[in-house]
Structure 1
C-alpha cells in the first residue's frame, strides 16, 4: 500500500498520466505482495524515495574530476546523496537537462540547483566553515 501511494506521489510530481500510473502502481503492489519480486516501477519508486530522503541528488560523469570532488565533499561531510551518472543513464541525462543543468556535476541540494562543483556555496549552504579561507587576528575567517 505504501509503495502504491509513493508511486502515485512520484507520478503527480513528475506530471505523469493518471491511468497508466494507477495500473502500474496497482500491478506493482500486487507483484511485490504476491511474488516478492522487484519490478522496474518499484525500483524507480525506491530511487525516488532515496532522493527524497537524501535531499541531495548528484548528476555526475564517471571520468569528471569535478564530479569526483563533489562526491568526495559529500562523503567527507557525511552527507548522504543519490548519484546519477549522466554518461551511462539516458534517463539521468534527460532529467538533468530538464532541470536546467549546463555542466557536471549538477546537483540538487534541497531547493538549490548548483551547476559545477562550488565548494564555498556548499559549505555556506550547510553552515560549515570554509577552512581554506585565512583566519583573522580575532579568530574569524575572512
Structure 2
C-alpha cells in the first residue's frame, strides 16, 4: 500500500477542501505542516511548487487542491490510483 502525504498549513482554505475530499473518500493521509523553512524547502523540492496543499500518492505528485478535484471529476480518485497502487 502507498502512503498519501499532504503538505499543509492550517490557515489555507484549499488545504481544508483537499482534506474534506480525501476524508469523504476514506483515504487516510499524513499531514506535513510547512511552517518551518526546511519542510517548505522539502515540499518545493519534491513538487516544484511553493503553494499548499501539495498532495502525493506514494511518489506520484498529484498536485494541489485543483488537481485533486479534477482527478475526482474525471472519474474518481480511486480509479486514477489503482495502476499506481499495483506498481
TM-score (norm 1): 0.46
Distance in 2, Cα, partners of 1:108 & 1:95:
13
**Residues in 2 aligned to 1:127 and 1:115: alpha-carbon distance in whole angstroms:** 17
Looking at structure 1, the residues matched to 2 and 18 of structure 2 have their Cα atoms a distance apart, in angstroms, of 15
- CA separation in 2, counterparts of 1:80 and 1:113? 16
The higher-RCO structure (CA 8 Å, 6+ apart) is 2
Q: Would you say the 8 A contact 1:60–1:86 is kept in 2?
A: yes
Tell me the matched-pair count: 75
Could you list the runs of 5+ residues in structure 2 that have no partner in the other structure? 81-87
Structure with larger Rg: 1
More strand by share: 2
CA contact (8 A) 1:54 1:81 kept: no
The TM-score with structure 2 as length reference comes to: 0.70
More helix by share: 1
Cα RMSD over matched residues? Answer: 2.2
Equivalence map 1:15-54=2 (5 Å): none
**2:76 & 2:26 partners in 1: Cα distance?**
16
